[in-house]
Chains A and B, each alone.
Chain A
Amino acid sequence: MVVIKTENLTKIYTRFEKEAGLKGSIKSLFHREKITKTALNRFDLKIEEGEFVGLIGPNGAGKTTLMKILTGIISPTAGNVSVLGYVPSELKNAYKKQFAIVMGQKSQLFQELSAADTFLLLKEIYDIPDTEYRKSLDYFIDLFSVSEYLNVQVRTLSLGERMKMELIAALLHNPKILFLDEPTIGLDAVAQKQIRSFLKEVNRDKGTTILLTSHYMDDIKSLCKRCVVINRGCKIYDGSLDMLFERYQTHKLITVSFSEATDYIPHFNAVIVEQNPFKLSLMVHSKDARCILTEMLRECEISDISIEAEDIGNVVERIYSDKGGILYEEVH
């Protein structure tokens, strides 16, 4: 069943421009230059129930704008949007009870009180029956192992502990859809891993549809089978994450150690990443890797070889800078 559907979704923001300096400030009192920015441009999207979809794109690509439209925080300029059969911008309470949004940089917990106090408030706001509330809370406390922090003032929690509490607060009413905007931002590697495993379990156990934006590709790679790439308000890819990497992770990093000092220069197209008489690291196109290795094995005394997939950062950069628009793969 399709739970999120957008057609030709467009959002245009109006901004005012002001020249720098005092003169510009005084001038802006009388005349302000109006500029428009298209944050989303005829954006189509369909998400099925229970999917875990990664939404990636550079800053200002339109990811958060899409999230805000889907949750009814802002209204689209044009196009259609339907989530669970509701028009989000109508902000019906029946709809609001069926989703949750977690914004990594925004908190819904009361800083002065314990997380348990906020949970009690959310129980009433979402009309969660006592037994269901207890069951949900026990499940999440156990899953996240946070029982010892439950009655501690939120402002004294670490960022990782706070994020766990934010997620519990968002999930207490068992939403059908969870929107996650940078949930692991600022967290250390251990906390990121915990959050990821928690989200994976929620998606699997409760069948919650999750739409995730993150700048950490590790989040997307470990959680999402499907990925939507957005740039300048347009969708440039929609499909399998594996296929996306297959297409864009075009290079290999070959590192060889020589048993004696060597002054080898490859005859194929390759970028030298590191070179000294006993070691050479090359970035080569995957299709050339075999030939280069054969050549090196023939010409040099090699003591060790390692072949690694290209750094994920380079891949992301290549995806975002793609202007061809040929990658679009409609999965539905």
Chain B
Amino acid sequence: MRKYIETAKVLFKAQLVYHFDILLTVVFTISKILLAHVLWGAIFENQDTVSGFTYPSMLSYYIISSFITQLDQSAGTGGQIAAEIRSGRFSKYIVKPMSIFWYFTAQTAGVSAFLLSFNLLAALAWIFIFRVDFTITVDIAVILSALILILLGLLFMMQMNYYIGILAFKFLDTSVFSMIKDNVVRFVTGSLIPLALLPAGIVEIMRLFPFYYVSYLPSMLLIGKNESEALAGIIILACWNAAFGILNAATYKNLKMKYDGVGI
């Protein structure tokens, strides 16, 4: 376990090297909140609620879901895995006495922890300075459920992007898989077509996919909504994680045989 904590620490430290990047990260977070503040402020000017959301709850949802989305850095890691396989640099991980999946997960966690700490500081400062009426549940069980969902969701995204990354053993170029994944995620989470426009049956089917529970549900839980879905979400995400765990282990074992380690 200590080797993975140290890996996360090393990646955290690596992020701290670029001071300008840190500044930009903070500025980006603040500007996003500012934009949401202005945009939703205009929408809520003449009405108290929109689709059951009050202005503070909408802003809180936006801040929380942006956070969770930003915490997921696994797509970059998946791309890095594919690039390292293509260039032959992946060999350096193969010869290390550790689990390659958990190494990359720890690496991603290090980057996420960096973003979490600086973004959190920036957001808290913003909320405090502008006295944003931040809506958050006080129910400990719900907060705990949301945190479990966030962790399971990040792990699931890591597993999926790791899977796409190791496909480079066979296909070399995995960008098409990433593109398909991005489109599926957009569709299932409703960012391509609002879920409300789809037949109820299809929406129910989509709830069996993990993406609904990765950022949407935990954000809703934290602002005090959809509590009844928490348990189902945890079970579904745990099942998807288990399935991808098995798939990744089998795929790695099978595809690693095709690795030539070209370039060394």
Contact = CB atoms under 8 A, between A and B. Distances in A.
Interface of A: 13, 64, 68, 71-75, 91, 93-94, 96-97, 99-101, 103, 105-106, 108, 110, 112-113, 117-118, 120-121, 123-127, 153, 181
Which of B18, B257, B260 has the most chain A CB within a 10 Å cutoff? B260
Contact of A106 (B18, B89, B260): B89
B264 A181 contact: yes
A68 B92 contact: no
A175 to B, nearest CB: 11
B97 A96 contact: yes
Contacts of B98: 93, 125
- Specify the main secondary structure of chain A where it touches its partner: mixed
Interface stretch (B1-9, B124-132, B142-150, B221-229): B1-9
Interface string B8-35: 0010011001100000000000000000
Interface of B: 2-3, 5-7, 10, 13-14, 17-18, 88-89, 91-92, 94-98, 257, 259-261, 264
B95 A73 contact: yes
Given A112-B17, A113-B14, A93 B260 contact: no
Sorted from nearest, which 6 A-B pairs have the closest CB atoms?
A: A93-B97, A96-B97, A124-B6, A124-B3, A112-B14, A112-B17
Which of B10, B91, B92, B95 has the most chain A CB within a 10 Å cutoff? B95
Contacts of B7: 121, 124-125
A74 B3 contact: no
A153 B3 CA distance: 22
Contacts of A127: 3, 97
B259 A106 contact: no
Contacts of A121: 3, 6-7, 10
Nearest to A105: B264
A13 B89 contact: no
A123 B2 CA distance: 10
B224 to A, nearest CB: 41
Contact of B2 (A113, A124, A153): A124
A329 B114 CA distance: 59
Contact of A113 (B17, B89, B94, B259): B17
A110 B14 CA distance: 8
